[in-house]
Chains A and B, each alone.
Chain A
Amino acid sequence: MGTQWAVLVAAFLASAVEFVEAFTIVLVVGITINWRSAFAGTAAAALALAALVGVFGTALVRTVPLEALRFAVGVLLVLFGLKWLKKAILRYAGLKAMHDEEAIYEEQIAEMRARGEHHQQRIDPFGVVTSFKSVLLEGLEVAFIVITFGSAARSIGSAIWGALAAGVLVALVGALARAPLQRVPENALKFIVGIMLTSFGTFWGGEGIGIAWWHEELFLPILVVFYLVVTGLLILWLRQYAPAKHAEVAASESAAGEALS
């Protein structure tokens, strides 16, 4: 039961991050071209992703032995988790710019207007392809997390519900706001999902290679806390070298130099 909730929450959070990014592009297409094209592309991509999860998720659960599945899923989740964690850590440490949906939105609008895109009522192939591509590309990572998480925990349903809930929530909030969702704490979500993916990947991957974890599933929260502590220490270490700190030091040094001269 606990694992099912963990799968649902992980799929929800990972999906929310990716859906916010996809929503920004769909919004641009809707505003600059028309909503019909934006919705057509989004619906086509959502169907493709649902088919992917349905076919591969079900096939994996039914045909692959659990041990082998957990080994493969462990490798993939650790890779995905570390990738997300690396970006989130660099952003928290100030070594990488925060993701700015507002800036991306403005940039995309300017690009599409420069290409002479304008409002029309009929379905526009360029608009459909643009929203299809953005939803499919952002959704592919979500589909992968849903399949790997759901199949390793034998709980594809929970993962699908988590992803669906995130999609509906982002679409609802976005539709009401009619603006890019820049207030979503994207880096915090990425960080949490990175911790969850790495912890589950370590746990299932470890079981796959033959490690018998102390107290079995109760060891998962210990792994989560361990990775939180390690990443916290890594952020503290990297913050010492963040550009803002260097700029402050340089400014204070030059001020001191001026005062002396």
Chain B
Amino acid sequence: MIAIQRALKATYNFFAGDMILLIATVVAFVLGLLLVHALAAPNPLVAVVFVGCIVGGLALTLGRELRGRVRQR
């Protein structure tokens, strides 16, 4: 069990290593798929939402890092 947990953690760290980035990326792709295939949304809207989710994830995780460091001081 511990070996499996360690393997999962190593895989997670290798591919993402950050929960916010992982969630933002998954949301970007799932939302994009839904907008294109289920709602037939216009192309520019899908592109804006898709890129927005990616950039939002980066900004959020950096904000979290900043809060953590400010709290440490």
Contacts and interface: CB of A to CB of B under 8 A. Distances in A.
Interface of A: 71, 74-76, 78-80, 82-83, 85-86, 89-90, 95, 140-141, 198, 202, 205-206, 209-213, 223, 226, 230-231, 234, 238, 241, 243, 246
22 contacts: A78-B25, A82-B18, A82-B54, A82-B61, A83-B16, A83-B18, A83-B21, A85-B58, A86-B18, A89-B62, A90-B62, A95-B69, A141-B14, A198-B54, A205-B50, A206-B50, A210-B37, A231-B58, A234-B59, A234-B62, A243-B69, A246-B73
A76 B26 CA distance: 10
Contacts of A241: 66, 69-70
A202 B50 contact: yes
Nearest to B51: A202
B62 A209 contact: no
Contacts of B66: 95, 238, 241
Interface in B4-56: 14-18, 21-22, 24-26, 28-29, 32-33, 36-37, 43, 46-47, 50-51, 54-55
Contacts of A95: 65-66, 69
A90 B29 CA distance: 26
A211 B62 contact: no
A206 B59 CA distance: 20
A83 B50 contact: no
B62 A230 contact: no
Contacts of A140: 14
The bracket for how many chain B residues form the interface is 20 to 34
Contacts of B54: 78, 82, 198, 202
A149 B61 CA distance: 25
A205 B62 contact: no
Q: Which 3 A-B pairs have the closest CB atoms?
A: A210-B36, A209-B32, A82-B21
A256 B69 CA distance: 26
User: Which one of B18, B24, B62, B65 has the highest number of Cβ atoms from chain A below 10 Å of its Cβ?
Assistant: B62
Given A79-B21, A211-B43, 11 more contacts: A75-B26, A76-B15, A82-B21, A82-B25, A202-B54, A205-B28, A209-B33, A211-B36, A231-B58, A238-B66, A243-B73
Given A74-B29, A211-B36, A234-B62, A82 B57 contact: yes
Contacts of B14: 140-141
Contacts of A79: 15-16, 21-22, 25
B61 A230 contact: no
Nearest to A246: B73
User: Which one of B33, B36, B54, B57 has the highest number of Cβ atoms from chain A below 10 Å of its Cβ?
Assistant: B54
Contacts of B62: 86, 89-90, 234, 238
Contact of B47 (A75, A211, A238): A211
A86 B69 contact: no
A79 B25 CA distance: 7
Contacts of B57: 82
A211 B59 contact: no
Contacts of A78: 25, 28, 54
A238 B58 CA distance: 13
